[in-house]
Chains A and B, each alone.
Chain A
Amino acid sequence: MELLVIFISALLINNFVLHYFLGICPFIGVSNRLDSAISMGLAVTFVMSIAASASWLIYYLLLVPYHLEFLEIVSFILVIASLVQVVEMFIKKTSPPLYQALGIYLPLITTNCAILGVALLMVLKKYNFIESLVFSVGAGLGFALAIVIMAGIREELEFADVPETLKGAGITLIVAGILALAFMGFSGLV
């Protein structure tokens, strides 16, 4: 039950994009096509979960026993960047066309503050390993949900009569704001 609460909370109530405003760059940047948004959402969820697992192990099995907790931000950044580099190297070696197509995704994942946010929050909330994993999967799927909803709306907006001055970033930010208000409705769910 506790795990379900953590999952629902990260997915809907404390959604990383629409509640914490983390990961806004890929949220705006890759939400103009629905299929790209789904891919990006899943890729971020995957990297987020692996990064959270690795960060948890490094924090509790290395930093805490040696009283090096003050290095958490540096070590988490290192873990996330290294993981993305490893993923990048493997894909470059095994599937060059996919690596080429990933172009926009990889820098957006590496510089995605939501991934660092998950690692820092799981330490702050003192989650155990499994709770951290569930939290990171919930946060990643919450990111995916937000970006997919946004992509759906933006595809519809292509056919809308948007005032000239609001076209592009303007209307996108307004929609993101309304979406964040809608997600506030989930407050108090669990």
Chain B
Amino acid sequence: MKIEQGVVVKKEGEFAYIVPSLEAGCEHCALKDLCIGNTSGKLRALDEVGAREGDLVEYTINLGRLNVNLMLLSGLGLILLLVGAIFGYYVNPFGIDPALSGGIFGIGLSALVFGLSKLKRFSSKELYPQIKRVIRRSA
């Protein structure tokens, strides 16, 4: 569990958008603008304390669970890719170029993993950062 601070910039129902306060180490990183939430430097977080725009808040990120989910998706994708490619190459059910068959089966089978990411496990609200405390209310 990682604890961070940030400022709420927008509210949207039970979610709030936070601009995180960058740790000192981030200031020198060339990727600092890319690494925060991927878009516009804002994080979508579950607001459990009724924060308002402009509030400085403390939020937690369940890094462990996110990492396990990412490992599951990429690990499973890799296994499916290998199984599909070997099946397509050696069994070659359509009688086409074995490499092409291996590629189609491998990449096709590994694409199944994106169907799995629709499961509740991978899209549950608990995976979002959660605002736990308002440190300073906006004026």
Given A42-B74, A94-B123, A96-B123, A129:B31 Cβ within 8 A: no
Contact residues of A between 31 and 69, Cβ < 8 Å to B:
33, 35-36, 38-39, 42-43, 45-46, 49-50, 53-54, 56-57, 60-61
Q: How far is the CB of A84 from chain B (nearest CB, A)?
A: 12
A-side interface size class:
35 or more
- The answer, among A45, A57, A87, A98, for a CB contact under 8 Å with B103, is A57
Q: Which of A16-24, A99-107, A174-182 faces chain B? A: A99-107
Report how far A60 CA is from B114 CA in the complex, Å: 28
Give the secondary structure class of A's interface.
Answer: helix
Contact B114 A90 (CB under 8 A): yes
Task: Please tell me the size bucket of the interface on B.
Answer: 35 or more
A-B contact count (CB 8 A): 137
CB < 8 Å neighbour of B34 from A95, A96, A107: A107
Please tell me if the beta carbons of A100 and B38 are within 8 angstroms of each other in the complex.
yes
Is the CB of A91 closer than 8 A to any CB of chain B? Answer: yes
**Contact, CB under 8 Å: B128 / A94:** no
- Residues on A with beta carbons closer than 8 Å to the beta carbon of B99: 56-57, 60-61, 128-129
A101 contacts which chain B residues (CB < 8 A)?
61, 63, 66, 70, 127
